[in-house]
């Protein structure tokens, strides 16, 4: 018998999250899966949603889209097992019919974005109903308590590494060794690449080297030339883009996964004379998600996390808002 759901919700713009009781769900049908939420981590996107940075979203807003939970009930079309532990990230569905979807790039679906905590319930709750096709079996070997940030942040950094065929013999630069960047260093290293971290805070050197970077270079310069084949930019800062293009090798790629507030200005010279590329990346496909989770389990990769009870979600959001978190905050089940 399904129980009412306890959730933490923002009910009006600018308000702190408060407890809300939602009706017990009807029996699931089709691809629907009901999860008992065990862990949900706080992503910067949750803070942006709560703060109204991306415009007001439908209320109540129940944040959380890095979710680890146990399958409680499911519809007949789900391929999961009742009792299995699964993960859910930012993408909650796709049209299944557009050019992106039929070619396995569902994260680029043009048939309408379906996102876990936008206009629908997120993971700061006791339970969540999801689409089985966007819930992912967590492989043996993953530490469930720290796995939650893999579901959005991990996928976001892994997907471009896969797209640009990072492997042995390739050099990867990671700009910003923070919540996203510390995972990017680990994944690039696990794929066999040589990794250089860039950060304005050189006190992170020991951390960067421990995670697998060969070196941590000051992001305030001087920047090395001709140093990396792929530069993953994880910060939101408005950088001197032409200077950063100079860190790339011939025909190298600069890929943004942070969102700078201003349009990019880049000199045309490196684009023509050196055939360098500027691009961006957003989350990743379901196939990338499965590959990322397997790699994390095989190499025992884990985000560095702080743990807090879910009932302290407001305090957790504040830590992320202030940039005080080391490095991702995971909320553990204690509602209900
Ligand atoms: Zn996210
Ligand atoms: Zn689609």
- Distance from residue 327's CA to the centre of ligand 2 (Å): 33
- Distance from residue 112's CA to the centre of ligand 2 (Å): 7
Confidence class of residue 308 from pLDDT cuts 50, 70 and 90? very high
313 has pLDDT over 80 = yes
Residues lining ion ligand 2 (Cβ < 5 A) are 94-95, 98, 101, 109, 111
Range list of β-strands (E), the chain: 5-9, 18-22, 32-42, 67-74, 85-88, 91-93, 114-115, 127-131, 136-137, 171-175, 194-199, 215-218, 228-233, 248-256, 277-280, 305-309, 328-332
1 has pLDDT over 90 = no
Q: Please state the separation of Cα 284 from the chain's center in Å.
A: 9
- Distance from residue 38's CA to the centre of ligand 2 (Å): 30
Confidence class of residue 56 from pLDDT cuts 50, 70 and 90? confident
234 has pLDDT over 80 = yes
Cβ atoms of 245 and 278 within 8 Å: the answer is: yes
> Could you tell me the CA-to-CA distances from 237 to 215, 240, 271 in Å, in that order?
21, 10, 22
Domains belonging to the chain, first-starting first, are 5-152+284-332 (3.90.180.10), 154-280 (3.40.50.720)
Quote the pLDDT of residue 93: 97
Cβ atoms of 9 and 29 within 8 Å: the answer is: no
- Among the bound ligands, name the one nearest to the CA of residue 88: 1
What's the start-to-end Cα distance of the chain, in Å? 16
- Distance from residue 305's CA to the centre of ligand 1 (Å): 15
193 has pLDDT over 90 = yes
Residues lining ion ligand 1 (Cβ < 5 A) are 43, 45, 152
The count of other CB atoms within 10 Å of the CB of residue 166 is: 24
Quote the pLDDT of residue 14: 94
Cβ atoms of 173 and 230 within 8 Å: the answer is: yes
Quote the pLDDT of residue 37: 98
177 has pLDDT over 80 = yes
Q: Is 287 helix (H, G, I), strand (E, B) or coil?
A: helix
284 has pLDDT over 80 = yes
- Distance from residue 221's CA to the centre of ligand 1 (Å): 29
pTM of the model: 0.97
Confidence class of residue 111 from pLDDT cuts 50, 70 and 90? very high
- Distance from residue 63's CA to the centre of ligand 2 (Å): 24
Tokens representing 18 are 């408060």
């Amino acid at each position: 018998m399904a129980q009412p759901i306890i959730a933490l919700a923002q009910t009006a713009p600018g308000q702190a999250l408060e407890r809300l009781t939602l009706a017990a769900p009807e029996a699931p049908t089709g691809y629907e899966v009901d999860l008992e939420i065990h862990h949900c981590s706080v992503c910067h996107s949750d803070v942006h949603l709560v703060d109204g940075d991306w415009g007001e979203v439908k209320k109540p807003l129940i944040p959380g889209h890095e979710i680890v939970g146990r399958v409680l009930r499911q519809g007949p079309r789900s391929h999961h097992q009742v009792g299995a532990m699964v993960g859910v990230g930012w993408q909650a569905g796709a049209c299944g019919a557009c050019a992106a979807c039929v070619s396995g790039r569902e994260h680029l679906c043009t048939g309408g974005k379906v996102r876990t905590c936008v206009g629908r319930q997120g993971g700061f709750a006791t339970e969540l109903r999801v689409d089985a096709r966007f819930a992912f079996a967590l492989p043996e070997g993953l530490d469930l308590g720290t796995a939650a940030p893999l579901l959005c942040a991990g996928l976001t950094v892994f997907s471009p590494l896969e797209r640009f065929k990072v492997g042995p013999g390739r050099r990867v630069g990671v700009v910003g060794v923070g919540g996203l960047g510390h995972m990017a260093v680990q994944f690039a290293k696990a794929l066999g690449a040589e990794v250089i971290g860039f950060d304005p805070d050189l006190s992170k050197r020991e951390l960067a080297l421990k995670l697998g970077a060969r070196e941590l270079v000051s992001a305030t310069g001087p920047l090395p030339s001709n140093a990396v084949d792929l530069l993953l930019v994880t910060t939101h800062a408005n950088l001197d883009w032409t200077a950063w293009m100079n860190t790339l090798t011939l025909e190298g790629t600069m890929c943004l996964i942070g969102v700078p507030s201003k349009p990019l200005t880049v000199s045309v010279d490196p684009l023509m004379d050196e055939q360098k590329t500027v691009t961006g990346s957003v989350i990743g496909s379901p196939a990338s998600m499965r590959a990322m989770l397997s790699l994390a389990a095989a190499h025992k990769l884990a985000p560095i996390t702080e743990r807090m009870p879910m009932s302290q979600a407001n305090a957790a959001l504040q830590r992320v808002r202030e940039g005080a978190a080391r490095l991702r905050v995971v909320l553990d089940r204690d509602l209900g």
